[in-house]
A and B are shown apart, each in its own frame.
Chain A
Amino acid sequence: MKNTITTLLILAVFSIGTIAQEKGSVLIQNATLMTITDGIIENGDVLIVDGVITAIGTDLSAPSGVSVVDGTGKYVMPGIIDAHSHLNTVSTNEARNPVTAEVTMEESINPNSVSIYRALAGGVTSIHLMHGSANVIGGQGETLKLRYGVTQDEMRFDGAKRTIKFALGENPTRVHGQGNGIQPRTRMGVEQIIRSHFDEAIDYRIKREAYLAAKEAYEGDKRGRTAPPVPVAKNLRYDVLNDIIDGEILVHCHSYRADEILMLMRVFNDYGIRNYTFQHANEAFKVAPEIAKNGAYTSVFADWWAYKFEVYYSTAYNATILNENGVTNSINSDSNELIRHLNHEAAKTVRYGETSEADALKMITINPAKQLGIDEMVGSLEIGKQGDVAIWSGHPLSIYSKVEHTYVDGKKYFDLYMDPVDMRIAVDSEDSYTEAGFNTFIQGREEDSCMSDVFELIQQ
């Protein structure tokens, strides 16, 4: 009986997410502000009104109706952005063709995954929900705001650039070459898949445009002297590839080895593709100057490697070396466990490579924001940016610090002091409690989460 009352109380106090995309207002006072782009402000205030940072300074007063949080002794930093995540996918890999540019993670979002809440508890406010790495050209990604409790559509980060996943090396050759006996079987084949598909897409565009022009002429010719064209069907896959060539879609490429990183830059230079990010990129440090010269970005692990052959040559100094060479680098999780403490991952760059604390924090905030095309909106504490912030109990790079509150659009989605034991939104009426798997959610880092859905395929 007592338990029931407690449950009801908790439910009543913490009923989340019935109102969609709600924007909030809050004044956080007297905290240490890690602005990311403008240094550290001691004893500073941040005012968020209707989801937007409207003032940063000292001695700010709250407009009427705006709640005030005492930040004395606390640290405020922009919400962490994870540039590589499969946090709440419905499925991750459409692994049956080496090129699946037409599929999109926008249509594979599970808004009810409790992992969203756990990421919020790590101070994360945005993620780049990615397709897996089974295919050379995988599906399009979707940048999400972790508004736990809203619909799949309302999770989408409005105004974020479109992205797409590419993958080089062992994964696509394993799935398609070894798995199905088709191209690509080798790294050379991977390159040719990219080139041939871009070429096909360009060819398609020429034909499609010619058809549309001829159709217009035919339909406009009232005297009926023009012959009709043979229709060229709209092709979703090629349309997306052309959007990549046109720079409307940012490529995020799963890669490890230096040689394949160089290869992709050569290919992209041939097609005039800019603003792309190498994901994982464990050997990127070897070609850091080349990456910088091409204006490419990297998004790496702090110290995770040796989970397959192509990932042996690695170093914990990767991020630091890239950073020192002027490459905009981010630290990502690619893991539902790691995402809860990306601050530690960033701190490792300070520990190993003596990267400055300021730069380390950039690697989980403004830098991933740049890689996702959302840096005008989030990634730092700046007036006019969106109110995605986290309040930390201490310095965010300290192993002892905890996230106390996480805000998205000025609305609080995580509160350490009001944190019920069960934050699931959707419980299936046929699940048994023990089988619901809630308590066994994290058993360490997944071996290779980019390959989820495809291991069975490979084993065939």
Chain B
Amino acid sequence: MKIKTTFVGMASFLVMLLAWPLMPTMAQEVPAHAITNVTIHMADGATLENADIVWRNGVIEQIGVNESIPFDAFIIDGGDSLHVYPGLIDGMATWGSPETPRDLPRLENPGKPPYDRAGAQPQRIPEHYLNEDKAFEAAMKAGFTLVALGLDGQMLPGHVQPFNVSAPKLTQAHVFANPLALQGSFETAPGGWGSGAYPSTQMGVMAYFRQLMYDATALQEHMMYFEKHSEMTQPEQNDVLEALFPLVNKEYPLYFEVDSKEEIERLFRLQDEFGFDVVLVSAKEASALSNELKARNIAVLASLDVADMPDWLEKEKKEAKKGDEEGSESDEQGDSKDADDSEDAETEELTEEELMFRSKQKEAWVKQINNVSALLDAGIPTGFTSAGLSPKELQQKVNLITENSILTKNDIVKLMTVHNSNILGISNRVGTIKEGSSAHLILTDGPLFEKGTKIHIQVSQGVINDFMED
């Protein structure tokens, strides 16, 4: 026994020797990092002034004022004026996804397309498909440290998988966790008119989806039978249907991209039939169904890409403002009474019909801008997706929303951090700044989303990206 132990000991020593060059990547040897003397913004909106934050090996070890910084720590001095926020999380994006193929060949029988040509590719997992994409770097610069990635596609594009946004090109090494959901939409089969296939309509997508679920149910049962009865006919290998087993078994939520009220109602029908959990993605009219969402315990990852203010309304507002400035000091923000003068200046003859149109359009727009605040009011777990916006566009949309709804910029931060991490089911590791959490942080020189605020450093699971170097 003794000899054996010694041998094992020797062997381990040898292994250690061989592995010496790799050692720095191993847990204990990684030096700590610290950002000191900053304002830390906690998830609940509270701030910690003149605080320090220390992480090692991707995990936050210390937060507080006058912390004793480990001797081995690389220190970034916040110099009293910088802010640390939890890293932004994009609730759902398709950065790095292969483009949906164009110029598809014409099918011999469009009524019986292969799965991918019907738009069903639920077996795809983002970590195996990621391409280079400028969006990753842009996202890092915009303060995102984590993203739930899906793939571009149609009815069932694949899985949703969270990634650390820590490099301009993401690979398997940046996987934050295993896939946590399937993606879905009412998108019809690809190929357009020339090379399209069944299903080519939304009602077709619904029918096709149902049939996939029935087929998956049967295959799963067959596989279970076969496990016990190897003498029976062997079940077919079918990775598409097998990928749907978690949905059939209600083990996975379906992240479904949908906007209109009517389409959300149609999704409810599918949910009623199959009983899986749903997270709405984009969901621009979701607040019209708040009660139903609440009853169904459905969370929403709302698109930040809300519609811009209708041109005529923007013009009207500008003129009202001008009127305010020109006229006597009016207390309230410019309403139409104050705008009378400027209206006269540029008399726009509107028919009664157009006036009604405008009134309805304004109502629709206001409703969309207030979608998220209404969902929050109704107690629906709601987060945000950047919906493919560039950092500049993102800032514009944040301004639009905060200027025209009750949401503040702090609310947006919350929505894009702790809310998103809750919805994604990863709040034990990200979304808030606390000891034991994964180090997903951003260091800014002012309040986030405020004009002029720059992001200096982005930290994704401990990996630092410094944007002030160049």
Q: Is A95 on the interface with B (CB-CB < 8 A)?
A: yes
Q: Mark A413-446, 1 if CB is under 8 A from B, else 0.
A: 0000000111010111111110010110000000
Q: Which residues of chain A have C-beta atoms less than 8 A from B354's C-beta? A: 433
Q: Is the CB–CB distance between B204 and A96 below 8 Å?
A: yes
Q: Is A213 an interface residue (CB 8 A)?
A: no
Interface size grouping (class) on chain B:
35 or more
Interface string of A198-238 (1 = CB under 8 A from B): 00000000000000000000000000000111111111110
**Do B232 and A227 touch across chains, with their CB atoms under 8 A apart?**
yes
Q: Which residue of A lies closest to B216 (CB)?
A: A233
Which B residues are in CB contact (< 8 Å) with A456? Answer: 193
Cα distance A3–B363 in the bound complex, in angstroms? 17
Query: Are the CB atoms of A429 and B199 closer together than 8 Å?
Result: no
Question: A432 to B307, alpha carbons, bound, how many Å?
Answer: 13
Given A7-B356, A427-B360, A427-B364, do A91 and B194 touch, yes or no (CB 8 Å)?
no
Interface residues of B in 184-241 (CB under 8 A from A): 189, 193-194, 196-204, 206-207, 210-211, 214-215, 217-219, 221-222, 225, 228-229, 231-233
- Please, how many angstroms separate the alpha-carbon atoms of A370 and B198 in the complex? 33
- A271 and B115 CA atoms in complex are apart in Å by 33
B409 within 8 A of A: no
Given contacts A231-B222, A438-B353, A456-B193, contact A94 B200 (CB under 8 A): yes
A420, B196: Cα distance in complex, Å: 42
Q: Complex Cα distance A112/B364, Å?
A: 13
- The contact string, 1 if C-beta is below 8 Å from chain A, for chain B 331-367, is 0000010001001000000111111111111011100
Contact A102 B356 (CB under 8 A): no
- Which B residues from 267 to 319 make CB contacts under 8 A with A? 269, 307-308, 310-311
- Interface contacts beyond A181-B108, A227-B231: sample of 4 additional A-B pairs, CB < 8 Å, sorted by A: A94-B200, A228-B229, A232-B218, A430-B308
Please give the distance in Å from A412's CB to the nearest CB on chain B.
20
Assess the B262–A97 pair: CB atoms within 8 A. no
Judge if A182 is at the interface, Cβ distance under 8 Å: yes
| B111–A182 touching, CB < 8 Å | yes
Q: Does B373 contact A (CB under 8 A)?
A: no
User: B198 — nearest CB in chain A belongs to which residue?
Assistant: A96
CB of B265 within 8 A of chain A? yes
Interface residue A103 (Cβ < 8 Å from any Cβ of B) = yes
Measured between beta carbons, the chain B residues less than 8 angstroms from A230 are 222, 225, 232-233
Q: From residue 100 to 129 of chain A, which have CB atoms closer than 8 A to chain B?
A: 100, 102-105, 107-112
> Across the interface, do B265 and A151 meet the contact criterion of CB distance under 8 Å?
yes
| Chain B nearest Cβ from A100, distance in angstroms | 7
User: Is B134 an interface residue, CB under 8 A from the partner?
Assistant: no
Q: Closest residue to B311 on the A side, CB-wise?
A: A432
Given A3-B350, A227-B232, A438-B353, CB of A103 within 8 Å of CB of B218: no
Asked if A431 and B262 make an inter-chain contact with CB atoms under 8 angstroms apart, the answer reads no
Flag whether A152 is at the interface (Cβ < 8 A).
yes
Give chain B residues whose Cβ lies under 8 Å from the Cβ of A7.
352, 355-356, 359
A180 in contact (CB, < 8 A) = yes
Minimum distance in angstroms from B377 CB to a CB of chain A: 19
Is B204 a contact of A6 with CB atoms below 8 Å? Answer: no
Contact B217 A233 (CB under 8 A): yes
Chain A residue nearest to B200 in the complex (CB): A96
Is B201 a contact partner of A236 (Cβ separation < 8 A)? no
What does DSSP make chain A's interface, helix, strand, loop or mixed? loop
Across the interface, which residues of B come within 8 angstroms of A6, CB to CB? 352, 355
In the complex, what distance in Å separates the CA atom of A236 from the CA atom of B213? 11
A421→B356 contact, CB < 8 A: yes
B368: interface (CB < 8 Å): yes
Distance A95 CA – B203 CA, assembled complex (angstroms) = 11
Residues of A within 8 A of B109 (CB): 180, 182
Contact yes or no, A94 B352, CB < 8 A: no
Using CB atoms, name the residue of chain B closest to A453. Answer: B201
Whether B169 sits at the interface, judged by CB under 8 Å, is no
Which chain B residues lie closer than 8 Å to A237 at the CB level? 207, 211
Residues of chain A at the chain B interface (Cβ within 8 Å)? 1, 3-4, 6-8, 10-11, 90-91, 93-100, 102-105, 107-112, 139, 151-153, 180-182, 227-237, 420-422, 424, 426-433, 436, 438-439, 453, 456-457, 460
Closest to A211 in B: B218
A152 touches B265 (CB 8 A): yes
* 27 A–B contacts from the bound complex (CB under 8 Å): A6-B352, A8-B359, A94-B207, A103-B201, A151-B262, A228-B229, A230-B222, A231-B225, A233-B219, A234-B217, A234-B218, A421-B351, A422-B360, A427-B357, A427-B361, A427-B364, A428-B361, A429-B307, A430-B308, A433-B358, A438-B353, A438-B357, A439-B353, A453-B201, A457-B193, A457-B196, A460-B193
Given B197, B203, B359, B368, which contacts A90 in the complex, CB threshold below 8 Å? B203
- Max chain B C-beta neighbours (<10 A), residue from A3, A96, A235, A430: A96
Q: Which residues of A contact B262 (CB under 8 A)?
A: 90, 109-112, 151-152
Chain B residues with Cβ under 8 A from A420's Cβ? 356
Nearest A residue to B197 via CB reads A96
Chain B 27-53, CB within 8 Å of chain A: the 1/0 string?
Answer: 000000000000000000000000000
Q: Which residue in B193, B198, B357 is a CB contact (below 8 Å) of A422?
A: B357
Q: Are B364 and A421 in contact (CB under 8 A)?
A: no
Q: Is the CB of A97 within 8 A of B336?
A: no
The distance from the CB of B351 to the nearest CB of chain A, in whole angstroms, is 8
Return the contact of B199 from the options A94, A151, A424 (Cβ within 8 A): A94
Chain B residue at minimum C-beta to C-beta distance from A233: B218
Q: Does B246 contact A (CB under 8 A)?
A: no
Are A103 and B204 in touch, CB under 8 angstroms? yes
Given A180-B109, A429-B307, are A421 and B353 also a contact pair (CB < 8 Å)? yes
The digit string for B153-196, where 1 denotes a CB below 8 A from any CB of A, is: 00000000000000000000000000000000000010001101
Q: Is the CB–CB distance between B266 and A107 below 8 Å?
A: yes
Do A436 and B357 form a contact, CB below 8 Å, given A91-B201, A233-B215?
yes
Contact A100-B198, Cβ < 8 Å, known A231-B222, A429-B361: yes
CB distance from B210 to the nearest CB of A (A): 6
Complex Cα distance, B356 from A424, in Å, reads 9
Shortest Cβ distance from residue B196 to the other chain A in the assembled complex, whole angstroms? 7
Given A94-B200, A107-B203, A236-B207, also A429-B218 (CB < 8 A) = no
How many angstroms from the CA of A428 to the CA of B360 in the assembled complex?
9
Q: Mark B249-272, 1 if CB is under 8 A from A, else 0.
A: 000000000000010011001000
Known: A103-B201, A233-B215. A96 touches B364 (CB 8 A): no
Contacts of B232 in A (CB 8 A): 227-228, 230
Residues on B with C-beta less than 8 A from A104 are 203, 207
Instruction: List A contacts of B355 (CB < 8 A).
Output: 3-4, 6-7
CB proximity of A172 to chain B, nearest CB, Å: 12
Given the known interface contacts A3-B350, A427-B361, the answer about A94 and B229 at a Cβ–Cβ threshold of 8 Å is no
> What separation, in Å, do the CA atoms of A318 and B418 have in the docked complex?
69
Query: What's the least CB distance linking A440 to chain B, in Å?
Result: 13
8 Å CB contact of B336 from A1, A105, A429 = A1
Contact in complex: B111, A422 (CB < 8 Å) = no
Residues in B whose Cβ lies below 8 Å from that of A111: 262
Q: Which B residues are CB-close (under 8 A) to A1?
A: 336, 340, 343
Residues of B within 8 A of A112 (CB): 262
Chain B: which residue is nearest A430 at the CB level? B307
Q: A421-B352, A429-B361 are in contact. Are A97 and B203 (CB under 8 A)?
A: no
Q: Which of A10, A102, A424 has the most CB of B within 10 A?
A: A102
Q: Are A235 and B352 in contact (CB under 8 A)?
A: no
- Taking a contact as CB atoms under 8 Å apart, the answer to whether A94 and B203 are in contact is yes
Which residues of chain B in 415-463 are interfacial with respect to chain A, using CB atoms and an 8 Å cutoff?
A: none
Cβ-closest chain A residue relative to B288: A151
CB of A29 to closest CB in B, whole Å: 34
Q: Which residues of A contact B351 (CB under 8 A)?
A: 421
Q: Could you tell me the distance in whole angstroms from the C-beta of A133 to the nearest C-beta in chain B?
A: 15
Known contacts A228-B229, A422-B356; A91/B202 CB under 8 A? yes
